[in-house]
């Protein structure tokens, strides 16, 4: 049996309006187009993606492998590979367009100080031949102009902040003497030692085992709360997203296709691609549901894509999807999706059973957690506003 429902059905869980308009926009990326030159062929990895990151929030960027999440994030640090460039678009950080930064000196004002990034694999992110203490002290002196002994104290403080026991002893150890989880803590310590406003986490727990994963996620959450940072959290694990995110941006083939509060995306997703992502949540434990196991492969980024990039894999694709690229349609002031299905002229469609079932499940299990998160966010936001950043 499939539940009928109209597109205008209200979200099952209404969040408090005040949590929707949290802190000021810190980073606003508009229509970013990023391309790579691969032996003379142009690959457009990001095709007009837009997103906004607000003070004090965690924005999760989700999407399958190759959708351009890392590339987009790296462009905020001027860390694209040498064969890549931002072709057009803007990325305003407190009024400064990062796309306009060209030289290393320009970027030095941003990297670490304002925006820091944590990489996926903690085993390779540290210099194997320097003590972890040195590697943290180095950034502390660089960014805070501290002398050796002060920087050392700060590094020790960072080590204990990220939950490393016996920081004094650990300070003079080498990365190979740490386990994966502990190393990721060191990586985080050295990133926050810069004192950034924005912390980009690019799949920071993918390389770790499950129990450690949870600890690291808790750590990032705690640090964000204490330091009032904004976090851009990249992952393909929706379970992680549910734990971490205030808002979610879903990427497909180099574009953001749906964006909304965490609750809105989980309970009231409007883009068929988001549905396929949600349906793959292992937590749902639904077997034999063929409809939403995603079929086909993402489009080649070497060619110009006509119409909606997801159309060929979309069981709900309309004729118009193959001809014209859809614009964004607002679902709520904080929720929008880039699909023709939201156009008033489109036929009503049946939301797949999996998704409606998902809604009821999530409502049961998540309502409490999300309410807690809303309160949490409200508290955080008021703090960042008061503190005026850091």
Partner 1 sequence: MKTYILKRLGQSFLTVALVVMVVFLLLRLMPTSGYFERDDYINMDEAARTEYLRTLGVLDNPFVAFGKFVAGLSRGDLGRSISVYPRTQISEIIAQKAPYSLAFGLSAITISIVVGLWLGIAMANHKDKLIDGLGTGYIVIVRAIPSLIYLFLIQIWVSGLLGWPMIFYEDQPVSWILPVISIALSSVAWYAIWLRRFMVDEENKDYIKFAISKGMRRKYVMTRHVLRNAAVPIVQYLPAQILLTISGSLVVESIYSIPGLGGLLVYAIRQQDNPLVQVLVLLFSVLGVFGVFLGDVLMVLVDPRIKLAGTEKRKVQA
| Binding region for ligand ATP (CB under 6 A) | 36, 38, 43, 45, 63, 65-71, 81, 83-84, 236, 301
Q: How far is the CB of 241 from ligand ATP (least distance, A)?
A: 13
Q: By C-beta, is 159 or 301 nearer to ligand ATP?
A: 301
Q: By C-beta, is 104 or 368 nearer to partner 1?
A: 104
Q: By C-beta, is 120 or 354 nearer to Mg ion?
A: 120
**Site track for partner 1 across 142-181, x = CB under 8 A:** xx-----------------------------xx-xxxxxx
Chosen from Mg ion, partner 1, ligand ATP, none, partner binding at 320 (C-beta under 5 to 8 Å by type):
none
Q: By C-beta, is 144 or 366 nearer to partner 1?
A: 144
In sequence order, the β-bridge partners of residue 201 are: 118, 233
Q: By C-beta, is 195 or 307 nearer to partner 1?
A: 195
Q: By C-beta, is 108 or 320 nearer to partner 1?
A: 108
Q: How far is the CB of 352 from ligand ATP (least distance, A)?
A: 25
Q: Which residues, 335 to 374, sit near partner 1 by CB under 8 A?
A: none
Chosen from partner 1, Mg ion, ligand ATP, none, partner binding at 67 (C-beta under 5 to 8 Å by type):
ligand ATP
Q: Which residues, 275 to 334, sit near partner 1 by CB under 8 A?
A: none
Query: What's the CA gap between 253 and 257, in Å, rounded?
Result: 9
| 97-120 burial: b if 16+ Cβ within 10 Å, else e | ebbebeeeeebeebbbbbbbbbbb
Angle (nearest 5°) at CA 45 between 41 and 48: 120
Q: How far is the CB of 302 from ligand ATP (least distance, A)?
A: 9
Q: How far is the CB of 122 from ligand ATP (least distance, A)?
A: 16
Chosen from ligand ATP, Mg ion, partner 1, none, partner binding at 328 (C-beta under 5 to 8 Å by type):
none
**Site track for partner 1 across 89-128, x = CB under 8 A:** ---------------x--xx-xxxx--xx-x-x--xxxxx
Q: By C-beta, is 44 or 190 nearer to partner 1?
A: 190
Q: How far is the CB of 75 from ligand ATP (least distance, A)?
A: 10
Q: How far is the CB of 222 from Mg ion (least distance, A)?
A: 25
Q: How far is C-alpha 145 from the geometric centre of its chain's CA atoms? A: 31
Chosen from ligand ATP, Mg ion, partner 1, none, partner binding at 83 (C-beta under 5 to 8 Å by type):
ligand ATP
CB proximity list for 74: less than 8 A, separation 6 or greater: 80, 117
Q: List interacting residues with partner 1 (CB under 8 A).
A: 77, 79, 104, 107-108, 110-113, 116-117, 119, 121, 124-130, 138-139, 142-143, 173-174, 176-182, 187, 190-191, 194, 212
């Amino acid at each position: 049996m499939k539940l009928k429902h109209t597109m205008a059905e209200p979200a099952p869980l209404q969040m408090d309006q005040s949590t929707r308009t949290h802190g000021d926009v810190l980073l606003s990326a508009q229509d970013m187009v990023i391309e790579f030159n691969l032996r003379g062929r142009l690959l457009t990895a990001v095709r007009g993606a837009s997103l906004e990151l607000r003070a004090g929030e965690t924005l999760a960027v989700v999407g399958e492998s190759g959708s351009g999440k890392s590339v987009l994030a790296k462009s905020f640090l001027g860390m694209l590979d040498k064969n890549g460039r931002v072709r057009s678009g803007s990325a305003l950080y407190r009024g400064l367009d990062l796309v306009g930064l060209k030289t290393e000196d320009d970027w030095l004002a941003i990297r670490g100080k304002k925006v820091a990034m944590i990489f996926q694999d903690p085993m390779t992110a540290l210099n194997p031949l320097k003590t972890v203490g040195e590697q943290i002290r180095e950034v502390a002196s660089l960014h805070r102009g501290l002398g050796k002994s002060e920087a050392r104290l700060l590094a020790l403080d960072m080590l204990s902040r990220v939950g490393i026991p016996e920081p004094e002893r650990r300070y003079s150890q080498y990365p190979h003497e740490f386990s994966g989880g502990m190393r990721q803590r060191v990586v985080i310590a050295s990133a926050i030692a810069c004192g950034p406003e924005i912390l980009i986490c690019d799949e920071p727990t993918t390389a770790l085992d499950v129990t450690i994963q949870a600890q690291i996620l808790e750590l990032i959450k705690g640090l964000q709360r204490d330091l009032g940072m904004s976090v851009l959290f990249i992952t393909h694990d929706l379970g992680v997203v549910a734990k971490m995110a205030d808002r979610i941006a879903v990427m497909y083939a180099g574009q953001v296709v749906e964006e909304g509060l965490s609750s809105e995306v989980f309970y009231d997703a409007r883009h068929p691609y988001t549905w396929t992502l949600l349906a793959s949540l292992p937590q749902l434990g639904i077997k034999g549901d063929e409809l939403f196991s995603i079929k086909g492969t993402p489009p080649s980024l070497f060619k110009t894509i006509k119409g909606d990039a997801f159309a060929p894999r979309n069981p709900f694709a309309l004729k118009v999807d193959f001809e014209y690229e859809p614009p964004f349609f607002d679902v709520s002031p904080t929720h929008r999706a880039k699909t023709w299905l939201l156009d008033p002229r489109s036929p009503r469609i049946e939301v797949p059973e999996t998704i409606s079932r998902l809604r009821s499940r999530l409502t049961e299990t998540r309502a409490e957690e999300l309410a807690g998160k809303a309160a949490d966010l409200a508290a955080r936001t008021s703090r960042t506003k008061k503190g005026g950043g850091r």
